[in-house]
Amino acid sequence: MPEKKTLNISEMRDLIVNVRRTFRQLAGISDGMLDARGLTASLRAILEFLAEEGPSPVPKMASAKSMTRQSVQALVDRLEGLALVVSLPNPEHKRSVLISLTDNGAATFREILAEEGELLVKICDGWPDGALAKANSTLRDFQTKLAKLGRTEDVAHLENPE
């Protein structure tokens, strides 16, 4: 009979602390990078959504981000003020316009991705082959087990602290 592994609770707590600390460090770096462009993490999230999904109505974005329509609309209004998005007629709905990236918005988001990519390359420099795959596998397994316990919380609403 195989020996049952014993869980080192202290190591698990260390993992949780390190995930939180890593998130806060990344958020701080990201905030600094975005601030230089007059953006926030929430505004970046809307740009990313539009870059990935294409022109979309505010209710669709709000649903996907687990945010209120009013919160997303406020972000869209700010992005319109920066000339990064534009409202277009929606052929499927007369009152709900489509929000689309402007050429400047698309270029800005590509620049953000390039800057983030350069940073990630620096961060990973010197890591052994397979380290990222192992870390991702472990975190996905952790998330799956949490979901099975029914104790997951959709924290997307925390993306808009403004």
Inside any domain, residue 140 = no
Q: What is the pLDDT of residue 156?
A: 39
CATH code of 118's domain:
1.10.10.10
The two structure tokens encoding residue 114: 């390039």
Inside any domain, residue 158 = no
Residues 6+ apart with CB under 8 A from 105: 47, 50, 79, 83, 84, 85
The answer to whether the pTM exceeds 0.85 is: no
Residues of the chain with pLDDT under 50: 152-162
Inside any domain, residue 148 = no
Q: What is the pLDDT of residue 158?
A: 37
* Secondary structure E strands in 32-118: 85-88, 98-101
Inside any domain, residue 131 = no
Provide the number of structural domains found in the chain: 1
The two structure tokens encoding residue 26: 């990344």
Beta bridge partners of 98: 88
Inside any domain, residue 132 = no
Inside any domain, residue 32 = yes
Residue 105 lies in domain: 11-122
Q: What is the pLDDT of residue 159?
A: 38
